[in-house]
A = this chain, B = another copy of it.
Amino acid sequence: MQLSLKTHSQTEMIDITGEVQRLIDASGVREGICMVYVPHTTAAVTINENADPSVPADMLMVLNQMVPWKAPYRHLEGNSPAHVKTALIGSSELVQVEGGRLVLGTWQGIFFCEFDGPRSRKVNITWMASTLPPPSQS
């Protein structure tokens, strides 16, 4: 299954937790592991606090300081900082599904991370079977 989204800034974090849950609801999957995969090289996915919007804002501020916009980059497209941030944050996240619900911590949400926007983007959602013993019985 695939999510489509439009980003609106050069760097931006978008909470996709609700949309991932809706795909799980639609699929009928009850138990397993959900893989959220970003098929791009200048965008990533991470799990972090989605209660206070200042958290992703601070995260982008630090990442944008940590990875310099100007440096003797060789890649002529000019978006090397976006490639580096993608490698630091990562292309996929896994979340357990139990009883049809994402098993996230109290403050956790799933964020799509745009590092070279604005663009149209995709996110792939896949499921894996979890094996015995089911975590809920342990």
Contact = CB atoms under 8 A, between A and B. Distances in A.
Interface residues of A, number: 72
Q: For the complex formed by this chain, how many copies does it contain in all? A: 3
Contacts of A2: 135, 138
A131 interface: yes
B80 A59 contact: yes
- The interface residues of chain A, by DSSP majority, are classed as mixed
Given A75-B58, A105-B40, A126 B132 contact: no
Q: Which of A28, A57, A125, A127 has the most CB of B within 10 A?
A: A127
Interface in A1-31: 1-2, 23, 27-29
A67 B62 contact: yes
19 contacts: A1-B133, A1-B138, A23-B138, A32-B131, A33-B35, A35-B96, A37-B94, A41-B49, A41-B105, A46-B87, A54-B74, A59-B84, A63-B84, A66-B66, A66-B67, A91-B93, A96-B124, A105-B122, A125-B135
